[in-house]
Structure formats: C-alpha cells, structure tokens
Amino acid sequence: MEFFEIPVSLLAGWCFWSLAHNLGHRWWHQEMRHGKQTFYAHGEREHHRLYDRPDATTLGAEDPRELFISFPLPFVAALGVGPVLAYGWLTSWPSAVPFAAAMYGSMVLDDYLHRRFHREPNLPGVLGRLQRMHQVHHATHDRNFFFMTGLLWDVLFGTAVLKGGTPGRQTS
C-alpha cells in the first residue's frame, strides 16, 4: 500500500460516514414532516427515552403525532460492513482498513457525543455550542443534521443554524 493511500482512505471513510449520515437525516426528517409511518419511525419521546438522562423531567408528555427515526449503533455498525467491503473491492483490501477506521471512528464519536448532548445539560465551550445546535435540530427537524462529524456538510448545504434564524445564517 502506498503512503498516500492511508490519508486518502481515512478521508474517504470520514466523508462516507458524515455525508451519508447527514443525507440520511435529511431524508428521514422529510418523512417525519410528512407524517410517514414506517418500521423505523417511533415517537420523538422514544428518542429522548433512549438518549436523555433518566431523571430528565423537562420532556413533557408523549405526543403520539410526533415521529422519530433512530437506528441503534450496533444496527448501523452492521450496515457499515457493506461500504467497507465495497471500498476494499474498488480500491485495495489494505486501503479498507483506514477507511473502516475513519468511518467507524466517526460513527462511534457521533454516538458518544449524541448521548452526551442529551444527558448532560449545558456542556461547556465548543461542545456546548454543538449541543445547542443539536437542540435546534430537535426543535425544527429541518436544520443541523450534522451530528458531530458532519458539520461541514450543514455549512456547505446552508442548514447550519445555532439558534432560531434561517438556514445558512447563524443568529445568537
């Protein structure tokens, strides 16, 4: 394996995960806005039951009209085997290792931070800013599809918003 293949494969793994995750969120939230009922749609409160800290009292009553889509990390990780195999087949099998490392590393980082965003109120610094962006995501279902590793895509697609405002512009 050539040296340049490692950084290219790392970048490809991150890019694949972050873009697929961002576009997946866009598609799924579009379905939610139209009230589509599918095998993977559940109530928004179910999402909070999975991710919020157990003593959270600000969740309010469950609204059966709200829809939410979530795939647990093990399910998504299992699906990730396909892209890793495809990457190895299209490039080289040794290149699939850094691709997989970046893809699964980004996936695990997103899951870890998603749990922190829900379970720890008012995170400090950059994490706090990203946490507030995630709250906008839950409030609007049409902005901030980034999670952690795909913020770049929301900036490029004009859907990154800190709070309020319109996509493409941040307002404080």
pLDDT in tens, 151-166: 888 889 888 887 654 5
What is the count of structural domains for the chain?
1
pLDDT of residue 92: 95
pTM to 2 decimals?
0.78
Find, among 121, 27, 10, 34, the residue nearest to 71 by Cα.
27
> 114 lies in a domain?
yes
Residue 10 pLDDT grade (very low, low, confident, very high; cuts 50, 70, 90): very high
99: containing domain: 5-51+63-124
Report how far Cα 71 is from the mean position of its chain's Cα atoms: 11
Query: What is the CA angle 138-142-145, rounded to 5?
Result: 70
What mean pLDDT value characterizes the chain?
78
The dihedral sign for the CA sequence 24, 60, 114, 146:
positive
> 120 lies in a domain?
yes
Residue 57 predicted with pLDDT over 80: no
pLDDT of residue 111: 87
3-class secondary structure, 146: coil
**DSSP string across 54-111:** TT---S-S--TT--EE---HHHHHHHTHHHHHHHHHHS-HHHHHHHHHHHHHHHHHHH
Q: Which has more pLDDT, 131 or 147?
A: 131
Contacting residues for 43 by C-beta, under 8 A, at least 6 apart: 62, 63, 64, 66, 67, 68
* Segment 75-86, tens digit of pLDDT: 889 999 999 999
